[in-house]
Structure 1
Amino acid sequence: MRKVTLVEGDGIGPEITQSVQHILEAAGAQIEWDAHEIGLTTYEKTGTLIPQEFIDSLENNGVALKGPTTTPVGGGHRSINVSMRQLFKLYANVRPIKTIKGLPSRYENVDMIIVRENSEDLYKGIEYKVSEGVAQGIKLITAEASERIGRHAFELAQKLGRKKVTVVHKANIMKFTDGLFLESVRKVAANYTGIELDELIVDNCCMQMVTKPEQFDVIVTENLYGDILSDLAAGLIGGLGLASGANIGQKQAIFEAAHGSAPDIAGKDLANPTALLMSATAMLDHINQSDVAARIESALKKTLANPETRTKDLGGTLGCKGFTEAIISNL
């Protein structure tokens, strides 16, 4: 039995996390949940976005499944996700993007993984108001972090039998920062002779992703570019409702859906738990329960392939509860 920190989150978070809990239990996952609150709901109750109890839980358990959370608007509040990535040193954001057989999509045979450096770049938050009407942000890139994310991408490619890693950059313009990132990944690539290194400027990469997305295997890139490209890639397969996500560090890992908390549909049984469920199967792989993950993935694909058992956002008629029951019946 593995203890896992659980965050239900805000908005639709409680509905979809409870759905995932039911499915994992039905599939036989050996998990003991350690539930905690963070986000807007917690802030309204306690005045803090990330309570110490949650921090202690994740430090002890090492793994968390997190529903979508809301950061209060204004008041100088930093993004909860950015704060947690820095707090727990979750240096790698991993976003698998794959078309689901039987589910209508703009493209076929998309199967890529975007590996995004999570700890620096413009998201480091080093910005200032220089004077009235003038602000400055500092883009921080280090060889250490760049090589680390490069190794993560190549190790993942090697583990999964992938043949190509594409490093995405803008080194033609930002010669020092992006130049350092590119050189660092090249240095790492030299140690993986069986995997091809491809190099693409970020604007060209965007065009290539919407004209021929099947050419991509593993993409490794900086924080800002990775944020943009991962959402673009989700649009290739049907949107953020089908996009799982993982934030990986040396000691802790947080698995979460890529989408937001959607407060406008909270409590209406309209939420689609697919993205969080796919994040949960990645978590199961991470904690060596891959057999359970494979059963859930098979049941999910079967459910999505049938138009009658899809959620309303995917053209079906089922709500969150009905969709959950359909997946469990397909296990």
Structure 2
Amino acid sequence: MTHRLCVIEGDGIGKEVIPAAVRVVQTVIPDVQTISAEAGWECFQKRGISVPQSTLDTIRDCRTALFGAVQSPAHKVEGYRSAIITMRQSLDLYANIRPIKSLPGLSPRPDIDMIIVRENTEGLYSGREHVDGDTAIAERVITRKASTRIGKSAVDLVKSGNRSRLSIVHKANILPMSDGLFRDSVRSVIDDLKNPEETWSVDEILVDTAAMKIINEPEKLDVLVTTNLFGDILSDEAAFWAGGMGLAPSINLGDEIAVAEPVHGSAPDIAGKGIANPIAAILSAALLVRYCWKCTSEADQIEKAVQQALIAEIPVKDKQIVPGTSTEMITQAVLNHLN
């Protein structure tokens, strides 16, 4: 079987870290065929659209994509729409998976291993905003369909990963209709899919309590499922325990299509200098290998190689990779530890 991968480098350091991740993937899965496409701010400046239809078609054709980074304008630009939100909504990538796992030498604690499962297509990111004079209104859209399928994604992750607990994160005490619908829909999925002999547990956590638990009891959290904005904020907060957002991987999953992406931005201040850290892109590619191509042992190899490289070769000081360490040095260190 040939694995086809749409490669979208995007803006800034995406052009450096994505090729590094592709090298790693092709080392463990030599038959990977890559097809290049474009998206992002530079694409918009050149073509007047952040994600061309040809890019969406290529992703659909390949079914998997690796996206680098996007540089977004700090103010409203007529006609511009976020590239990643466009891909998520156009391709119905409804589940955003953010693993938070301790990395040797970089994480403040060695015992963190949680996954945040975020509904990816609606909530406050539905794009329904309007202004009437001095009042701006953003509509928060919660549907039973989206809540049900993100609940199923979370249950599948718990079962396939032999996890011990699923926590539903919401604010139904203040938003009883919208978050109440989300919570009840996820609960209904769990009732349908959880077999009596299975030992994993289910609980509910208010979002502000979840934020506090991420700070002071992260080792007690396992799999969390929540709505779009809550998931965005909580996963960025939790990234602290895995070395920060610059090292955080993620993947956007639909029923048949997936786009993996490092969480970091385009970092224009270091773009082109050859010092961008490719670890988040490499770990994002590993998620694609694991969840889309079902190549579990190969994904394990990549993640293990990152950990071994951090222990043995990559220079780390004061919980960070020594500034100025080259992209090539980090990439080669990971490649050195692949079986």
- TM-score using structure 1 length: 0.95
- SS of 2:125's equivalent in the other structure is helix
Provide the rounded CA distance (Å) in 2 between the counterparts of 1:185 and 1:231: 23
| Structure 2 equivalent of residue 275 of structure 1 | 280
Provide the rounded CA distance (Å) in 2 between the counterparts of 1:44 and 1:144: 36
Matches within 5 A, 1:101-112: 102-112=104-114
What letter matches 1:80 in structure 2? A
| Structure 1 equivalent of residue 17 of structure 2 | 16
In structure 2, relative to structure 1, the CA distance for the partners of 1:14 and 1:308 (3 Å cut) is: closer
- TM-score using structure 2 length: 0.92
| Structure 2 equivalent of residue 305 of structure 1 | 311
What letter matches 1:299 in structure 2? A
| Structure 2 equivalent of residue 315 of structure 1 | 322
Mapped contact 2:315–2:321 kept (Cα < 8 A): no
Match of 1:88 among 87, 91, 107: 91
What letter matches 1:288 in structure 2? K
Range with bigger deviation, 8-17 or 20-29: 20-29
| Structure 1 equivalent of residue 131 of structure 2 | 129
Provide the rounded CA distance (Å) in 2 between the counterparts of 1:49 and 1:225: 25
What letter matches 1:239 in structure 2? G
Identity, % of aligned positions: 38
- SS of 1:64's equivalent in the other structure is strand
| Structure 2 equivalent of residue 201 of structure 1 | 206
- SS of 2:182's equivalent in the other structure is helix
Range with bigger deviation, 174-183 or 296-305: 296-305
Deviation for aligned residue 1:59? 1.2
Residue 328 in structure 1 maps to residue 329 in structure 2? no
What letter matches 2:147 in structure 1? S
Mapped contact 2:40–2:82 kept (Cα < 8 A): no
RMSD: 1.7
Deviation for aligned residue 1:282? 1.1
What letter matches 1:121 in structure 2? G
Q: Which ranges of structure 1 fall in alignment gaps of 5 or more residues?
A: none
Residue 260 in structure 1 maps to residue 262 in structure 2? no
Matched residue pairs, number? 329
Deviation per CA, 1:169-224, whole angstroms, max 9, x where unpaired?
01000111011111111111213142311101100111111000011110000001
| Structure 2 equivalent of residue 113 of structure 1 | 115
Matches within 5 A, 1:198-237: 198-237=203-242
Provide the rounded CA distance (Å) in 1 between the counterparts of 2:261 and 2:89: 16
Deviation for aligned residue 1:324? 1.1
What letter matches 2:258 in structure 1? A
- SS of 1:38's equivalent in the other structure is coil
Provide the rounded CA distance (Å) in 2 between the counterparts of 1:308 and 1:58: 33
Provide the rounded CA distance (Å) in 1 between the counterparts of 2:249 and 2:13: 16
Residue 145 in structure 1 maps to residue 181 in structure 2? no
Range with bigger deviation, 250-259 or 192-201: 192-201
